Amino acid sequence: MIKAILIFNNHGKPRLSKFYEHYSEDTEQQIIRETFHLVSKRDENVCNFLEGGMLIGGSDYKLIYRHYATLYFVFCVDSSESELGILDLIQVFVETLDKCFENVCELDLIFHVDKVHNILAEMVMGGMVLETNMNEIIMQVDAQNKMEKSETFIFQSTRQDR
Amino acid sequence: MALKIVKGSIDRMFDKNLQDLVRGIRNHKEDEAKYISTCIDEIKQELKQDNIAVKANAVCKLTYLQMLGYDVSWAAFNIVEVMSSSKFTYKRIGYLAASQCFHESTDVIMLTTNQIRKDLSSPNQYDTGVALTGLSCFVTPDLARDLANDIMTLMSHTKPYIRKKAVLIMYKVFLKYPESLRPAFPRLKEKLEDPDPGVQSAAVNVICELARRNPKNYLSLAPLFFKLMTSSTNNWVLIKIIKLFGALTPLEPRLGKKLIEPLTNLIHSTSAMSLLYECVNTVIAVLISLSSGMPNHSASIQLCVQKLRILIEDSDQNLKYLGLLAMSKILKTHPKSVQSHKDLILQCLDDKDESIRLRALDLLYGMVSKKNLMEIVKKLMLHVDKAEGTTYRDELLTKIIDICSQSNYQYITNFEWYISILVELTRLEGTRHGHLIASQMLDVAIRVKAIRAFAVAQMATLLDNAHLLTGNMQRNGICEVSYAAAWICGEFSEHLENPMQTLEAMLRPKVATLPGHIQAVYVQNAAKLFATVLKSQEGNTDSTAAQETSQLMIERLPLFVQSANLEVQERASCILQLVKYIQKLQQKDVEVAEEVSALFAGELNPVAPKAQKKVPVPEGLDLDAWINEPPSESESEDEQPKAIFTKEETKHSRPRHIEVDEKELARRREARKQEQANNPFYIKASPSSQKVYQDTPGVEHIPVVQIDLSVPLKVPGLPMSDQYVKLEEERRQKERAEKKKKEKKKRKEKRSGRGKKHDSGPESEEDITPAHMVDIVTEEMPENALPSDDDDKDPNDPHKALDIDLDKPLADSEKLPVRSHRAVEAAKSPGEDGDAETVATQQPKKKSGKDKRDDKKKDKDKERKKSKDEKKKKKHKHEEKEEDLLRGEVHEPVVQSEGISQVAELPTSTSAEVSDLDFWLSNAPVPSNTQEAATVAAAEAPVAEVVSGAAQDSEPDEPKDTEMEETKSSKHKKKKQKKEKEEKEKKKKKRHHHHHRHSDGGGEESVQNGTVEEEEPLPSMSNYCLLAENSYIKMVYDIQGNLQDGSQVVVSVIFENKCDSFLKSMEFNVLDSLNSKLQRPEGSGPHDGLTVPFQLPPGVSNEARFVFTVQSIVMPQKLKGTLTFIVKNEESSTHEKLDFKLHFTCTSYLITTPCYSDAYAKLLESGDLKGSSLKLEGVNMPFHHLLARICFHHHFSVVERIDSCSSMYSRSIQGHHVCLLVKSSGQTVSIDAKCDEPTMLGNVLDEIKQTFSQC
């Protein structure tokens, strides 16, 4: 199970937070801060797994993260997930974002956090991995976006009618 | 109204959207909080408007603010509003917001039930998808209960996109509503073999997650997972399954044996590191579960260790980390194989990555031996000095203690060394583990009697120098050590060299800065010391010394009497009074030492930590019963005084600054220097050094004894524990030398040069003898304590509720609550009502009133249906077979179970399941070639396309047909679905028949695909063959595979009444085999027969169908069965029975599947298929007859035919491809066949041979 997925930048500013277990807003912020603290002090060329993290965690949990340019992608998972598998999943996630936003950068995530959530929802659901195939994910995301567009089109056209 | 909308949309143009909000926040870096609060005000305004677009926009912004840490729960109701918008765009925003901020205690959640239900059944798959995704984040027990049934329906949705989401969310539903697990499980299991890989993966995911927590309930699924493992190519699925097996093997070692081979193959063949790693992990788990004695045991271990070494040596830090992680698992059972890689692991200790260092530390634990313990700990001590972060240093500290104390100090040969190490560890500043060191000190001192003298000496020094540690003792927790030191010095004071000095040290004013519980120990042990001192002093002629001691006590104790800590205060005042009394006696020259030391006589024995818990409760004692009348409510007020005290304590225990006498310090420094000189470990004891010792001020009056006292603190040069390392080396060398000598002697005597094994090579463990002969006192346990392991289970684990036996058949009461219409209620009679009520009360009581009503309704519904069924049966008595034929299919056993699940729970008892597993584990053929399956490549893709095409084809959407029937039955959605499926099945069957008819009948154009071209009329053929026959009845049967479900076959049996009596109460029963089982309705036992849903008037025949589940389809099988029936005529009715044998041929698992020649060619080229051939001699029939026979009897289709050569194709219900090339020359027919399952192919060919030998 995945307990939480966090994206924050090099300064610890959250860009996306998805908790699959309920925490209060304050605790969530604390977790983000603590995770950032743990992750950011690690060198570039050390392993991507991290034990500890008092708030989120416990002995069965691990933080698995990747650092891309200005962003950290952190997954908090328990022992039922394959460590390398999750690393691959993060890669798939980032590649999917790259495809959906066309050369994704931090700004895309800042301004379109809802879209990032929608993409993530096609990959991970309720803490469990739903889909790992990038094409399938993109297909579903596109289909939903298309639906959204058609709705706004109807909306606009009805408005024009009036 | 229209105006309003226009106005709304104009307003909207001026609203901030999410992007504007983000931009705004970025532009207001200085006063972000203020800006956001104005934004929230705006949002509140927006939420008040009627326009849903405005609301959705506001909610979207709130979601963003929630991420920044703002509480948005006040908008929960607005979120629900947006969720219920009919537009997907807004709905999605609403559900996202809900998933981010709803949780179990959000009260508006209960308003969402109906909305979610509506969305779940929406025709738009994305509405359903969004609802499922949202629900997965905020599902509550109530929602889970109310929606479980709807979600279960979605598990069989036509769209894989919905199916996979529904399957995944079931896990959450199970967690929140454990009662749903058993009813839903059969369908979940079905999904393991879903044609869509995504759905399959989801099902694997859920079951793995369930099985991880309660593995024993899922052991019976092992064969199924094994099949998946050997056939799946999806690494995600493979990893999950392999992880699952890792959890299952400890429960069933035989499973491990079966797994080793395919896993080893995977390890060799896979290129995916993640998969390789998981395989290694599971192989390790298998090896752990297996008791040694397997032939290739060590080979597998070696393979794992070798692969892990490659990982550890990899430059990728991730692999290094994982390698070490897995290595630590091997270590537990096979330490030897890991020990050979000690170099590598010690190297990792120096890695710059802390995660890796921690993992390497874990490994050290199992790598120590008597021989290398000192060396390893020395290395660790170096690390302790170097470590910069406290976490890592604390970790080191615990590891040092762990490895030394493991298995009852097994590896410690020299306890003096260990005590010194512990003392050295006390120098660590800021460690959290003071109590750990303290408990080790206590444990060693208590349990190793031989070491007490040394320990006491060390502790005395520690106490003496405690003030050096106390600087920030309060804060860093190391002060716990003085607790141990004080206790040891007090308890074993007879070993003290200078009890007076220690006593003084214990009564220093600075002690009062220590935490209360430590002070209490100080005071108590000061009293013990006092007793010892008195005893030694009373022997002297001069009584003033003794009186001085008492005086010292009387002077110092009042400090503790004032302590805020109750314990300290109480003990101190007790002892103070005691000492005062003693002083009085002393002044009268009464000898008191004997009596005082009697206060502390006797020895304390170590008691095991869990001993108290394990004292059996005496019979007749109820610990929960009230002894007196229960106290009144106002009891809680008593707590308050305590709180006051603790508050005071913190005030009082503020550290006080007390100057240490400069002279005193100098004196001690001097003493230490001399003691060092005296230490036998520094210099071999010489008489001169003793003299120096004697001269030390303040110690003259103590008799001089050879002691091994040493000063561990601030020793110049090497830390003292190192001395022991060298010493130990020397000692061992000496011992070795002696041994060698002895052996040489022996050898000389023997004069047989039988081997030099003792001369060279490292000494073995047994050769190392401990420096002291120590007897380690084992901890005491109460007599007749019950050994139990369940101490560690967490009662709050949510997964505990999911520990449910899944093999038991479903009981009626377990069915999921289903919504039903109120109209139903009007129809029932009062009597039924009463019945229903009793059933309802059996339901779990915790349900709320509303739910009870629901349940009642459900039960009534059931009740009503039952009566309806009965009525129908009555009808049958009077009506003729037309009606029977109509209804025959509806009455199929599966359908009879009028419950929720479309497919009845497997009718197996636990025992049957287990024996089935036994069979599988013992000798069943491995379902497929593992090596091959593992490497099945993308080459299969084109075939898969064809296959999926066919599969889609067989799923017609036919909602309308059911409408008519729907009116008959209740408006149960379930039922409707069931019928739908029924319909599909019918369709499928029709299609099959269609094919057959083709081959039977018309000689038209040649068809390339599917059927045989006809050249001349074929002889009539029937697939029905005789099952059994007697004078009353004749049964013929045919078996068809179920394409939708790879584990099901449908047996159609035609019953023909041959006599002139009425046949009724027919009951069809089959003795299930391990592999094949008759599907019985929910609730019936594994040996219950199925009632044939019709009666037979004389001369009439009718068909009934029975569903069987099969697991392995590679072998043919025979099932014994019995039909019992009542023969009734005017005069009498007799019970009769007829035995039969159902023959499941491999052919019956094949399904006629069309295949195009290009796909066929690709399939053959792929090289995944294994070949086999068959020659038939003396076949006297035209070639097209021959083909027709194969097509008809063996469910093949012709792909292409050229003259007297034809290629044919068929597919099994589990997706095996079977390809035939049939050539005929004269009377000889040769069949070359290929299939991905050789065993199955062999059997099919045998059956073809059989067919032709019969004619």
Query: Per-residue pLDDT tens for B535-565?
Result: 887 766 667 788 888 888 888 888 888 888 8
Q: How confident is the model at residue A98 (pLDDT cuts 50, 70, 90)?
A: very high
The arithmetic mean of pLDDT across residues B801-827, rounded, is 62
Q: What does the pLDDT average to over B1202-1231?
A: 84
Mean pLDDT of B186-208: 89
Query: Mutate which of B318, B328, B358, B395 to disrupt the A interface (most A C-beta within 10 Å)?
Result: B318
Q: What is the pLDDT of residues B371-406, one digit of tens each?
A: 888 888 888 888 887 776 677 788 888 888 888 887
- B139, closest residue in chain A (CA to CA): A126
Model confidence at B288: pLDDT above 80: no
Pick from B240-254, B580-594, B696-710, B917-931: least confident: B696-710
B478 vs A: CB within 8 A: no
pLDDT digits (tens, 9 = 90+) for B234-280: 888 889 888 888 888 888 878 888 888 888 888 888 888 888 888 88
To the nearest whole Å, the CA of B918 is away from the closest chain A CA by: 27
**B840-890 residue pLDDT tens:** 444 444 444 444 444 444 455 555 555 555 544 444 444 444 444 444 444
- What's the pLDDT at A75? 93
B907-922: average pLDDT: 56
Is residue B475 very low, low, confident or very high in pLDDT (cuts 50, 70, 90)? low
Q: Does B18 contact A43 at a Cβ distance shorter than 8 Å?
A: no
pLDDT of residue A72: 94
Alpha helix stretches (DSSP H) within B844-972? 849-878, 881-888, 893-896, 910-922, 930-935, 941-953, 962-968
More confidently predicted of A59 and B459: B459
Q: Give contacts of B 719-758 with A, CB under 8 A.
A: none
pLDDT (average), residues B1225-1250:
84
Q: Which of B67, B170, B274 would you mutate first to test chain A, the one with the most A CBs within 10 A? A: B67
- Partner-chain contact B67 A148, CB within 8 Å: no
Q: Contacts of residue A162 in chain B, CB cutoff 8 Å?
A: 2, 5-6
Chain-chain contact of B320 with A47 (C-beta, under 8 angstroms):
yes
Render pLDDT for B60-93 as a digit per residue (tens, 0 to 9): 999 999 999 898 889 999 999 999 998 899 999 9
Nearest to A88 among B63, B96, B274 (CB): B274
Residues of A in contact with B6 (CB under 8 A): 159, 162
Partner A contacted by B214 (CB < 8 A) = no
Q: What pLDDT, on the 0 to 100 scale, is given for residue B925? A: 45
Residues in chain A within 8 Å Cβ distance of B318: 47-49, 83-84, 87
Residues 258-287 of B with CB under 8 A from A: 273-274, 277-278
Residues of A in contact with B12 (CB under 8 A): none
Q: In what order do the strands lie in the sheet with B1033-1041?
A: B1025-1029, B1033-1041, B1048-1057, B1101-1110, B1076-1078
In this structure, which long-range contacts are made by residues B547-550, counting pairs with CB atoms below 8 Å and at least 24 apart in sequence?
B547/B583, B547/B586, B547/B587, B549/B500, B549/B503, B550/B579, B550/B582, B550/B583, B550/B586
Q: How confident is the model at residue B650 (pLDDT cuts 50, 70, 90)?
A: very low
Higher per-residue confidence, B52 vs B735: B52
- pLDDT above 70: residue B928: no
Contact (CB<8Å) B126/A80: no
- CA atoms of B1190 and B1184, how far apart (whole Å): 10
Contacts across the A-B interface (CB distance below 8 Å): 150
- Give the pLDDT score at B752: 46
Interface of B with A in 15-74 (CB under 8 A): 18-19, 22-23, 26, 53, 60, 63-64, 66-71
Per-residue pLDDT averaged across A66-78, rounded?
92
The DSSP secondary-structure symbol of B251 reads: G
A125 and B96 in contact by Cβ < 8 A?
no
- For the ranges A65-79, B540-554, B633-647, the lowest mean pLDDT is seen at B633-647
CB contact under 8 Å between B164 and A131, yes or no, is: yes
Strands B1076-1078 and B1101-1110: antiparallel
Is pLDDT at B829 greater than 50 in this prediction?
no
Q: Specify whether the CB–CB gap between B267 and B280 falls below 8 A.
A: yes
Q: Please determine, for residue B952, whether its predicted confidence score (pLDDT) is greater than 60.
A: no
Supply the pLDDT for residue B491: 87
Length of chain A, please?
162
Test B318 with A125 for CB contact under 8 angstroms.
no
Name the token pair of B417: 């060394």
Asked if B69 lies within 8 A of A29 by C-beta distance, the reply is yes
- Enumerate residues 133 to 152 of chain A having a beta carbon within 8 A of any beta carbon in chain B: 133, 136, 140, 143-144, 147-148, 151-152
Tell me the average pLDDT across B610-621. 76
* A62–chain B nearest CA distance, Å: 11
Q: Which class for B1052: exposed (0-12), middle (13-18), buried (19 or more C-beta within 10 A)?
A: middle
Instruction: State residue B841's pLDDT score.
Output: 42
Q: Which of residues 314-333 of B touch A (CB under 8 A)?
A: 317-318, 320-322
Q: What is the pLDDT of residue B756?
A: 41
- Region B354-372: mean pLDDT is 80
Q: Is the pLDDT confidence value at A80 over 80? A: yes
Q: Taking CA B285 as the corner, what is the angle to CA B283 and CA B286, rounded to the nearest 5 degrees?
A: 60
Q: Provide the chain A residues 17-76 that lie in CB contact (below 8 A) with chain B.
A: 17-18, 20, 22, 25-26, 28-29, 42-43, 45-52
Pairwise CB contact (< 8 Å): A85 & B236: yes
Mean pLDDT lowest among B267-271, B409-413, B446-450, B845-849 = B845-849
Q: Mean pLDDT, chain A, as a whole number?
A: 86
Residues of A in contact with B92 (CB under 8 A): 118, 144, 148
Q: Do A22 and B66 touch (CB under 8 A)?
A: no
pLDDT tens per residue, range B731-785: 767 776 776 666 656 555 555 444 444 444 444 444 455 555 455 666 666 555 5
Question: Could you say which residues from 347 to 366 on chain B have a Cβ atom under 8 Å away from some Cβ of chain A?
Answer: 352-356, 358
Q: Which residues of B touch A80 (CB under 8 A)?
A: 208-209, 212, 243
Q: B10 touching A, CB under 8 A?
A: no
Contact B276, B267 (CB under 8 A): yes
3-state secondary structure of B1151: strand
Question: Which residue in this structure is represented by tokens 């239900």?
Answer: B117
Q: For residues B170 and B816, is the Cβ–Cβ distance under 8 A?
A: no
pLDDT band at residue B838, thresholds of 50, 70 and 90?
very low
CB–CB contact B236 A129 (8 Å): yes
- Chain B, nearest residue to A13 by Cα: B68
Q: State mean pLDDT over B1098-1127.
A: 83
Residue of B69, B278, B321 with shortest CB distance to A25:
B69
CB-CB neighbors (< 8 A) of B18 in chain A? 111-114
Q: Which residue in chain A is spatially nearest to B239 when comparing CA positions? A: A82
Q: What percent of chain B has pLDDT over 70?
A: 66
Buried b (16+ CB within 10 A) or exposed e, B199-229: bbbbbbbbbbbbbbbbbebbbbbbbbbbbbb
Q: How far is CA B239 from CA A124, B234, B272, in A?
A: 17, 9, 10
CB–CB contact B67 A14 (8 Å): yes
Residue pair B1123/B1140 in contact (Cβ under 8 Å)? The answer is yes
pLDDT of residue B258: 84
Chain B nearest CA to A82, separation (Å) = 7
| pLDDT computed for residue B291 by the predictor | 59
* pLDDT for residue B603 is more than 60: yes
Strand segments, DSSP code E, in B436-544 are none
| DSSP per-residue codes, B399-421 | HHHHHHHHHHHTT-S-HHHHHHH
Nearest-neighbour CA in chain A from B273: distance (Å): 8
pTM beyond 0.90: the answer is no
Selecting from A83, A113, A133 the residue whose C-beta is nearest the C-beta of B322 gives: A83
Q: Is A82 on the interface with B (CB under 8 A)?
A: yes
CA B187 distance to own-chain centroid: 21
Is the pLDDT assigned to residue A18 strictly greater than 90? yes
**By three-state DSSP, how is residue B916 classified?**
helix
Q: What mean pLDDT value characterizes chain B?
A: 72
Q: Is the pLDDT of residue B504 over 60?
A: yes
d(CA B120, CA B136): 13
Chain A residue numbers with beta carbons less than 8 Å from the beta carbon of B2 are 162
Q: Which of B82, B213, B355, B398 to mutate to test the interface with A (most CBs of A within 10 A)?
A: B355
B1 to chain A, closest Cα gap in Å: 12
Interface with chain A: mutation pick from B105, B137, B356, highest number of A CBs within 10 Å: B137
- pLDDT for the residue numbered B1135: 85
Q: Say what the pLDDT of residue B221 is.
A: 87
Residue B695 has pLDDT above 50, yes or no: no
Question: pLDDT tens-digit profile of B113-151?
Answer: 999 999 998 888 899 999 999 999 999 999 999 999 999
Question: ipTM of this predicted complex?
Answer: 0.94
